[in-house]
Amino acid sequence: MSHFENTLAHAQQLDVQDPLKSFREKFHFPNFHENTIRYFTGNSLGLQPKSTREYIIEELDAWAKYGVEGHFLAKKPWFAYHENLTEKAAKVVGALPIEVVVTHSLTTNLHLLMVSFYRPSADGKRTKILCEAKAFPSDQYALESQVKFHGLDVAEHLVEVAPREGEQLIREEDILAKIAELGDELALVMIGGVNYYTGQLFDMETITKAGHKVGAVVGFDLAHAAGNINLKLHDWGVDFAAWCGYKYLNSSPGGVSGIFVHERHSYNPELPRFAGWWGYDKETRFLMQPGFNPMKGAEGWQLSNAPILGMAAHLASLDIFEEAGMDRIGAKRDLITAFMEFVIDDISEKNKDRCTFELITPRDKTKRGAQLSIMAKGQGRALFDALSDLGVVADWREPNVIRIAPAPLYNSYEDCYWFGQLLEKAIQ
């Protein structure tokens, strides 16, 4: 983009103009290194909001003061604590409140949702799952084990769409063609909304429509999309989705996950599911009666009472998202990622005699979020190690990719400028 310059002055000017600049102050930046840390791993573990401590201490104090009575006497009674998060999480993913609940962890939720939404037909016809090749390993294992759970053969029933020979990205036309080809054999489409490795964002609306056209159910793993992409899960008609709270959503290591179940499934108590008491109708839960009577909407997928400390951390972060708003976050995401791309291209061009690397993330801003994946040929690991020594916290993914994510809430344009400088130093 020609309007950028790879200079400190230009980066600082972009920071001055940044409507979200004050949000940086709301986060703790790691300081464990002799060099200033440049943190670009919000796509792996988001930074800790300074407010998280207060939110957790509020609950620790309530526990100390009230013991079990905190379920009813705490300022935010634990009995209904998750309800504090629902509307805020729904805004982040473009959903109605009834469609969202924050609960459990991501892979657990993917399994729970697939129990309901991967229902191979009894006549043995509609049995296949379509997913992307190189899905995150946990998703691969989850998908494989779901297929096996139904007594089906993985090689036959789990169909992957891969990039074409010599390409890094999956062509959407290939996904759509495969959906059409599988037709009435396709039970479920389950794809990562943003691929963890390449940072490729898939057109979830078009994929959903294509899946529905052949009668399949469509779900997404939004680990790399929630808090990153401007999602409209309700309008897109997605059947179900799950995401984790600890990446762009900054909600503590291993933090709680969210699920989305489209409103069209909200009022169907017959939908098969694995049940637990926290998904039981709230008004009559404590009558402890036999026979499961699920809550309406996504809440009906809860199994257990909420882990309050993790939920408190998530609430702290969701309050920041509410203040910033996904529209502003999305606008900065596009600009700061484009600036980072410009800086990387500039350093790459200047150093092309020493080191070649290629950005494998789409260059089209509508096809990516805040992540850029750099594939460094040959010396990738050495480059990554040199960057780490210089204080850059990025992320290495086998076999040869360095992932960096300028997180719009707390990364600055100056961070991106310094990344370029350190990249050049690492190359040298």
Ligand X SMILES: Cc1ncc(COP(=O)(O)O)c(C=O)c1O
Interstrand relation of 186-192 and 217-221 (parallel, antiparallel or unpaired): parallel
User: For ligand X, what does the binding mask look like between residues 24 and 43, x meaning CB under 6 A?
Assistant: --------------------
Q: Smallest distance, Å, CB 132 to ligand X?
A: 10
Between 59 and 395, CB nearer to ligand X:
395
Q: In a 10 Å sphere around its CB, with 0-12 CB exposed, 13-18 middle and 19+ buried, how is residue 25 labelled? A: exposed
Q: Which stretch binds ligand X (CB under 6 A): 101-109, 179-187, 324-332, 409-417?
A: 101-109
User: For ligand X, what does the binding mask look like between residues 129 and 148, x meaning CB under 6 A?
Assistant: -------x-xx---------
Residues facing 132 on adjacent strands: 161
Distance CA 393, CA 44 (A): 11
Q: Smallest distance, Å, CB 139 to ligand X?
A: 5
Q: Which stretch binds ligand X (CB under 6 A): 34-42, 105-113, 147-155, 334-342?
A: 105-113
Distance CA 307, CA 316 (A): 15
Number of residues that bind ligand X (CB under 6 A): 12
Q: Based on the shown chain and the rule CB under 6 A, indicate whether residue 105 belongs to the binding site for ligand X.
A: yes
Q: At what angle do helices 326-350 and 308-324 cross, to 10 degrees?
A: 80
Q: Which stretch binds ligand X (CB under 6 A): 58-66, 218-226, 274-282, 378-386?
A: 218-226
Between 244 and 336, CB nearer to ligand X:
244
Distance CA 176, CA 251 (A): 34
Q: Smallest distance, Å, CB 75 to ligand X?
A: 29
Between 135 and 336, CB nearer to ligand X:
135
Between 18 and 221, CB nearer to ligand X:
221
- Take residue 239 and report the two structure tokens written for it: 């059947």
Which residue spans within 183-317 are E strands per DSSP?
186-192, 217-221, 240-244, 257-261
Between 105 and 379, CB nearer to ligand X:
105
Distance CA 47, CA 250 (A): 6
Q: Smallest distance, Å, CB 44 to ligand X?
A: 7
Q: Smallest distance, Å, CB 304 to ligand X?
A: 16
User: For ligand X, what does the binding mask look like between residues 241 and 260, x meaning CB under 6 A?
Assistant: ---x----------------
Using the 8-state DSSP alphabet, how is residue 368 labeled? Answer: B
Length of the chain, in residues: 428
Q: Smallest distance, Å, CB 122 to ligand X?
A: 30
Q: Smallest distance, Å, CB 223 to ligand X?
A: 4
17: three-class secondary structure by DSSP: helix
Q: Smallest distance, Å, CB 159 to ligand X?
A: 19
Distance CA 177, CA 20 (A): 41
Identity of the residue numbered 113: L
Q: Based on the shown chain and the rule CB under 6 A, indicate whether residue 23 belongs to the binding site for ligand X.
A: no
Contacts 24+ apart (CB under 8 A), 285-289: none
Q: Based on the shown chain and the rule CB under 6 A, indicate whether residue 223 belongs to the binding site for ligand X.
A: yes
- The single residue among 49, 192, 330, 380 that binds ligand X, judged by CB under 6 A, is 192
Q: Which stretch binds ligand X (CB under 6 A): 51-59, 103-111, 227-235, 409-417?
A: 103-111
Distance CA 378, CA 357 (A): 9
Q: Yes or no: say if 82 and 307 are a contact pair by the CB < 8 Å rule.
A: no
Between 46 and 297, CB nearer to ligand X:
46
Between 223 and 295, CB nearer to ligand X:
223
Peptide bond into 399 cis (omega under 30): yes
Helix (H) or strand (E) holding 132: strand 128-132
Largest CA distance in the chain: 73
Place of tokens 């009995």: 79
Q: Smallest distance, Å, CB 71 to ligand X?
A: 26
Where do contacts with ligand X occur on this chain (CB under 6 A)? Answer: 105-107, 136, 138-139, 192, 196, 221, 223-224, 244
